[in-house]
Structure 1
Amino acid sequence: MTISVITFDLDNTLWDVEPALLRAEEAQRQWLITHRPGAIEVFDHDALFEFKKAVWKRHPQLVHNVTQMRLQTLYELLLIADYSETEASSGASEAFAVFLAERHKVVLYEEALSILETLARSYTLGALTNGNADIYKTDAAEYFDFAFLAEDIGRAKPHPDMFQAALDKTGVKADQIIHVGDDPDHDVQGANAIGMRSVWVNLRGKLWPGGTRADEEIEKLQALPAAIARIAAMP
């Protein structure tokens, strides 16, 4: 087998996303308190979560577009706080911009950049993410040849359209791509279903939940190059 392309999930595969999301949520909250007072202060954590769930139920067409879903949630939040449609629209856009700027201040796992640099010498690298992280706004930008977000494709992993986008972009066969990710369903099952090889990045020592296993499982990112080499050596 000739492996020529490696695709990566991003959040919790190349970095721990939780710290960045927490900072981003707080930055957005502070912006709203300052610029759209009364919109968010009345909600505690549980009430805000219930409000978000209600928006998700009303707009199922946005389930694969986390950016538009967040914008819609902010817009509706501002409307019920008696802001005009114009104020709600502009407020949603500006609050989201604050969120997104902080969301991209991710800290890659310590070994990630050196691994990507090594792999980029031999393989085409791509990103496939269900989130709204832009790999080109991170320190890993220079090593990636392409990137697709679920909101660009209109479908989220494990739907085959996400993986098909990588096939269409590179022009290679499915078994010439290794997909690397932390989610057994979205990443491993999704890649396997279309015929790609897969590596499960299990940095948190989780038990395999069932289903077809990945070709390789790693518990440290340092083990990725060796895992890829073993897959590439398979007949």
Structure 2
Amino acid sequence: MSIEVITFDLDNTLWDVDPALLRAEAAQREWLLQHRPGAIEHHDEQSLWAFKKGVWKRHPELAHHVSQLRVRTLFELQIEAGYGEAEASRGAEEAFAVFLEQRHAVELYEEALEVLAELAGRYRLGALTNGNADIFKTDAGEFFDFAFLAENVGASKPAPDMFHAALDLTGARPEHIVHVGDNPEHDIAGAQGVGMHTVWMNPTGLPWAGGTAPDREIDNLRKLPSAVASIAAAQAPD
């Protein structure tokens, strides 16, 4: 079999991330309002984003560590409000735990579990994400063999580090792996850069912006098994 492994981006590839993020942000804000009064009441969405960017500028080492960046932001919000370091540190961890619980309460695309079950019977499946979602804390986890997060490998896609991690773990050659993702730069160009095949998940029908086109394009995960099969068929010797 010419294709042995399929790797997936997660957010907006297996689920729409926005509803989960909105719930997570709301839960985190409610925790702060209740347990750390004064830390967030004066911030709206725009000022909170500006505050987070300020934290990132002061801590560029956290650029690929989205969880640590959020915890640091929560810590500094409390410090700014007059809380002591120990209390702010404890509050940051507890508020982040509240956020992360809702972050993992994702609603997979309607067809995702059926498709993953089908693919898992034929290929090894892995997750490669720039975000902080743990695939094994979702309903899809049972179908996956491995997962890498940018914050674990220290670099975000399209950097090759996560793709190389998948290659090293599986022992598969790049041409025996298909990467599936929604982001033309992070997923498609990144995977192409290490020699993997690619499938672009494009549910809204966006035009291809340029650069090397993906091997296949789909607008629904139900089309993924046949897309992978056609990539394999195109590789088969005459």
TM-score (norm 2): 0.97
Q: Does 1:40 align with 2:40?
A: yes
**In structure 1, C-alpha distance between the alignment counterparts of 2:128 and 2:231, rounded to whole Å:** 20
Q: What's the CA shift for 1:59?
A: 1.1
Partner of residue 214, structure 1:
214
Aligned ranges 1:1-235 → 2 under 5 Å: 2-235=2-235
Q: What one-letter code is carried by the residue in structure 1 that aligns with 2:192?
A: N
**In structure 1, C-alpha distance between the alignment counterparts of 2:45 and 2:162, rounded to whole Å:** 33
**In structure 1, C-alpha distance between the alignment counterparts of 2:152 and 2:134, rounded to whole Å:** 12
Q: What's the CA shift for 1:139?
A: 0.4
Flag structure 1 segments of 5+ consecutive residues without an equivalent. Answer: none
SS of the residue corresponding to residue 199 of structure 1 reads: strand
Structure 1 residues 213-222 or 18-27, which shifts more? 213-222
Can you list the C-alpha shifts for 1:162-210, whole angstroms capped at 9, x where unaligned?
A: 1000000000101100000000000000000000000000012112111
Q: What one-letter code is carried by the residue in structure 2 that aligns with 1:167?
A: L
Q: What's the CA shift for 1:53?
A: 1.0
* RMSD between superposed Cα atoms in Å: 0.8
Q: What one-letter code is carried by the residue in structure 1 that aligns with 2:104?
A: H
**In structure 2, C-alpha distance between the alignment counterparts of 1:4 and 1:44, rounded to whole Å:** 47
**In structure 2, C-alpha distance between the alignment counterparts of 1:217 and 1:167, rounded to whole Å:** 23
**In structure 2, C-alpha distance between the alignment counterparts of 1:207 and 1:34, rounded to whole Å:** 45
**In structure 2, C-alpha distance between the alignment counterparts of 1:100 and 1:223, rounded to whole Å:** 31
**In structure 2, C-alpha distance between the alignment counterparts of 1:173 and 1:220, rounded to whole Å:** 27
Structure 1 residues 46-55 or 176-185, which shifts more? 46-55
**In structure 2, C-alpha distance between the alignment counterparts of 1:81 and 1:209, rounded to whole Å:** 45
Q: What's the CA shift for 1:48?
A: 1.0
Q: What one-letter code is carried by the residue in structure 2 that aligns with 1:88?
A: A
SS of the residue corresponding to residue 234 of structure 1 reads: helix
Q: What one-letter code is carried by the residue in structure 1 that aligns with 2:219?
A: E
SS of the residue corresponding to residue 148 of structure 2 reads: strand
SS of the residue corresponding to residue 126 of structure 2 reads: strand
Q: What one-letter code is carried by the residue in structure 2 that aligns with 1:64?
A: H
